[in-house]
Amino acid sequence: MSSISLKNIVKRYGSGKSAVPVIHGVNAEIRDGEFVVLVGPSGCGKSTLLRMIAGLEEITGGELWIGDKMVNNLEPAKRNIAMVFQNYALYPHMSNYENMAYGLKLAKVPKDEIRRRVDKAAKILELSQLLDRKPRQLSGGQRQRVAMGRAIVREPQVFLFDEPLSNLDAKLRGQTRLEIQKLHAELGITSLFVTHDQVEAMTLAQRMIVLNAGNVEQFGTPEEVYHRPASTFVAGFIGSPPMNLLKNAPGGQAGRILGIRPEHIDLQGGGAGWDYQVETVELLGAERLLYGKVGGEDVTVRMEEGQPYPRPGETTRISPRADRLHWFSQETGKRI
């Protein structure tokens, strides 16, 4: 196992005045054995950054260290990493055993050692009874497990996951998330997982890097990122539904944006608080989401099941909890 150190990593496409910068001086220290999630919207540069770590994209500037070795100019095969892609990339004419063993076979690993590693990985991933089948005989979740098994058998220093759950339906994504968590708990290999899904990020990460247009907005635990977002971007991206951000909140402060999460707003019915015009109500089983406006700005309120709630078109009073307010600069968007 090894740590990963990103020191002012830069990526530009092209050269000279026509060069297009996509990664702008990323710094991050990923600890030995840590599971870190790189999360951000489509086009923010997260897959590019992952491919730079893997050696599939050239690094324009900065230093990339894996363990005690700078690997900027080291070819992918010599970085001792294993990558799991969004598409399973399995050979359809091979059995699942052959798919998992193929990289070891190319590396001329002895057959007995290949068998030991494949059997061990298959046991961890509950694939032992499926090794003789072809990929077409498996479900999407099982194919992704074979792809993970192919990475495990290499016994790498680092795992890199590039949106591996994107092609699965919601139920399979949830199941596979649990399998990845169990896998990391058992193997303890340093892992970097890329996703645009903030729910995946929150549930999988020990720490998470929130990337925005090639810049790191925040690097911290899911709890830190959720409860103390470093910017309006993080506040609006992390959380489902996201944090309410009000530029003209009643009683607000000049030059500041008020942030309040939907679950930290109480329904008053009358008395103190803000006038709240309810537009729609969304039932989500154990909770309800109210969508409406305060002074012309959109505000979402989360309510637990069983609480009486106003109907669309009604006006009521809501009150944000004073100890749960977040303030951001209107000029920079950064936390105050």
Region of 28 on the Ramachandran plot (φ > 0 left; ψ -120 to 50 alpha; else beta): beta
Q: Does 252 have pLDDT greater than 90?
A: no
Peptide bond into 250 cis (omega under 30): no
Q: 114 and 180: one domain?
A: yes
Yes or no: say if 178 and 99 are a contact pair by the CB < 8 Å rule.
Answer: no
- 282 shares a domain with 223: no
CATH number of residue 191's parent domain: 3.40.50.300
Q: In the predicted model, what is the mean pLDDT of the chain?
A: 92
Condensed to tens digits (0 to 9), the pLDDT of residues 31-40 reads 999 999 999 9
269-314, pLDDT tens digit by residue? Answer: 656 789 999 999 999 888 999 999 999 999 999 998 888 889 999 9
Structure tokens at 227: 């409860």
Q: Do 200 and 46 form a contact (C-beta atoms < 8 A)?
A: no
- Output the pLDDT for position 182: 87
Residues 280, 201 share a domain: no
319 and 256 together in one domain: yes
Same-domain status, 164 and 251: no
Does this model's pTM top 0.75? My answer is yes
What are the structure tokens assigned to 50, written together?
């992952």
Which comes out higher in pLDDT, residue 251 or 54? 54
Q: Is residue 282 part of a domain?
A: yes
Phi, psi at 263, each rounded to 5°: -80, -5
pLDDT digits (tens, 9 = 90+) for 115-133: 999 999 999 888 999 999 9
- Give the Cα separation of 121 and 113 in Å (integer): 12
Q: In which element (H, E) is residue 302 found?
A: strand 297-304
Measured CA to CA, the distance from residue 100 to residue 94 in angstroms comes to: 10
Provide the pLDDT for residue 133.
95
Q: What is the CATH number of the domain that holds 285?
A: 2.40.50.140
- Strands of the sheet with 158-162, listed across from one edge: 81-84, 158-162, 190-195, 35-39, 207-212, 215-220
Same domain, 230 and 246: no
Residues 155 and 267 in one domain: no
Q: Are 317 and 294 in contact (CB under 8 A)?
A: no
Tell me what the mean pLDDT of segment 315-333 comes to. Answer: 94
Report residue 150 CA to chain centroid gap: 22
Shared domain check, 282 and 198: no
pLDDT digits (tens, 9 = 90+) for 227-241: 999 999 999 999 989
* Residue 205: per-residue pLDDT: 96
**Residue 310 CB: number of other CB atoms within 10 A?**
20
Is 28 inside any structural domain? yes
The residue among 234, 262, 297 that closes a domain is: 234
Look at residue 336 and tell me if it is in a domain: no
Domain boundary (186, 209, 234) is at: 234
pLDDT at 1: 64
Specify if 334 maps to a domain. Answer: no
Structural domain count, the chain: 2
Q: Which band of pLDDT confidence, cut at 50, 70 and 90, is reported for residue 244?
A: very high
Domain assignment of residue 300, yes or no: yes
What's the CA gap between 324 and 259, in Å, rounded? 9
Burial of 18 (0-12, 13-18, 19+ CB in 10 A): exposed
Report whether 258 contacts 243 (CB < 8 A).
no
CA dist 134 and 139 (Å) reads 11
Are residues 216 and 254 both part of a single domain? no
Domain extent, residue 315, equals 242-329
pLDDT digits (tens, 9 = 90+) for 143-179: 888 998 999 998 899 999 999 888 788 888 888 888 8
More confident residue, 309 or 6: 6
Q: Annotate 217-256 with DSSP letters as a single string.
A: EEEE-HHHHHHS-SBHHHHHHSSSSPPEEESS-TT--TTE
Place of tokens 């109210």: 290
Domain final residue pick, 199, 234, 269: 234
- pLDDT at 88 exceeding the cut of 70: yes
179 with 56, same domain: the answer is yes
At 167 the pLDDT is 79
Instruction: Identify the bridge partners of residue 246 per DSSP, sorted by sequence position.
Output: 258
- Is residue 335, in this structure, part of any structural domain at all? no
Same domain, 272 and 195: no
Q: Name the token pair of 212.
A: 């925005």
Same domain, 190 and 285: no
> Cα separation of 23 and 16, whole Å?
16
Residue % of the chain over a pLDDT of 90: 73
pLDDT at position 269 is 62
Q: Residues 210-228: pLDDT tens digits?
A: 999 999 999 999 999 999 9
Residue 329, pLDDT score:
96
- d(CA 194, CA 197) in angstroms, rounded, equals 9
